[in-house]
Amino acid sequence: NLSVKSGLIEIKFTKNKENRDRLQALNRDPRFISAYFFTATQGMHEISLVAPRELLDPIRSCFHNKRPKLFLDHLAALTFRFGEEYIAIPNVTYALVRHFALKRINIVEIVSTFTELTFILAEDDLDRSFSMMHRLMVG
């Protein structure tokens, strides 16, 4: 299963206790709970949020207008849904990433769950990426 979401932004903040607490507040906010796409990743040193553009003001407000480490606009998500059996198959992620690399399409971020793999891309690359991956899936 292949799906697309556009109109996304990415915003990164330094990871510290204050910002982790702010992230918890976002996770309780009904606007984020019901958003068509929202992902938050905590790395060792930063927190990365990918959300619909219309949630930018609530994010800024929650983070008290702190200056982010990075802000990107005009992003899209291309998500693959797999059956649970794919977790045990080697090189699935590599096989997909390889196609982006061969076409010189930049992957801004990769987000995964147990049965989903999402590539965050520039909106300008979305049509070409979707076509490429659709051909790959359909054969």
How far apart are alpha carbons 53 and 97 in whole angstroms? 26
Q: What tokens does 48 get?
A: 């990365």
Which phi and psi angles does 54 have, rounded to 5°?
-70, -10
Summarize pLDDT for 70-81 with one digit per residue, the tens. 999 999 999 999
pTM of the model: 0.91
Average the pLDDT over each of 92-96, 98-102, 135-139 and give the range with the smallest value. Answer: 135-139
- What burial class does residue 97 get, using C-beta atoms within 10 Å of its C-beta: 0-12 exposed, 13-18 middle, 19+ buried? middle
Angle at 53 between CA 48 and CA 111, to 5 degrees: 35
Q: How confident is the model at residue 139 (pLDDT cuts 50, 70, 90)?
A: low
**pLDDT at residue 81, rounded to an integer:** 92
Summarize pLDDT for 5-28 with one digit per residue, the tens. 999 999 999 999 999 999 999 999
